[in-house]
Amino acid sequence: MARLCVFCGSSPGNRPIYREAAVRLGRTLAERGHGIVYGGSSIGLMGAMADAAVEAGGEAIGVIPRSMVEREIAHPKLSALHVVTTMHERKARMTSLADAFLAMPGGHGTFDELFEALTWSQLGIHAKPIGLWDVGGYFGPLVSALDHAVAEGFLRPHDRARLVVSAELEPLLTTLLPA
């Protein structure tokens, strides 16, 4: 079973489309026989995605630092919950458990996890595909900033190409987790 590491918000966001997308992702991955690795929370987009995956009979593995178990409300119904010491350990464990990465809307934590996965790919620490699901145009400004970094000579085009961006879920999943 291939596993997708998903970075997304512990908040639901302001538009219903974000939660709907999280539920769709969880259900779709379960239906395709893929597992999820994520931050282990039962709230926000993270919780909605995990709930949908578990309800559809899928595997959902959470990784959460001990200090966040109460604050992010660790999900009680996962296939497995890894409680770690630090955020760095969280990201390293998530990376080791996953075959590919996908970011959907979120805040600082989502951006941190996404950029660490991209940096580790650039440095050769892993060679796993990385995708950005641009739900409702949420990531448009970020994609523009990355393209600007290429134009200004701070990001090489082949490193920019490590991030596959799509507003459509199915083709993105096919790229990240080919059959």
CB–CB of 75/50 below 8 Å? Answer: yes
The residue ranges of the chain whose pLDDT is under 70 are: 72
pLDDT value, residue 151: 98
**β-strands 80-84, 100-103 pairing:** unpaired
Domains of the chain (ranges; CATH) run 6-176 (3.40.50.450)
Q: For residue 54, what is the DSSP state?
A: H
State the DSSP string of 128-166: --EEEE-GGGTTHHHHHHHHHHHHTTSS-HHHHTTEEEE
Predicted pLDDT at 30: 98
pLDDT for res 72? 64
pTM: 0.96
| Maximum Cα interatomic distance, the chain, rounded to a whole number of Å | 47
Q: What pLDDT sits at residue 36?
A: 98
- The stretches of the chain forming alpha helices (DSSP H) are 16-31, 44-55, 87-97, 108-122, 140-151, 157-160, 169-176
Spatial CA neighbour of 37 closest among 85, 86, 79, 84: 79
pLDDT score at 179: 75
pLDDT for 70: 74
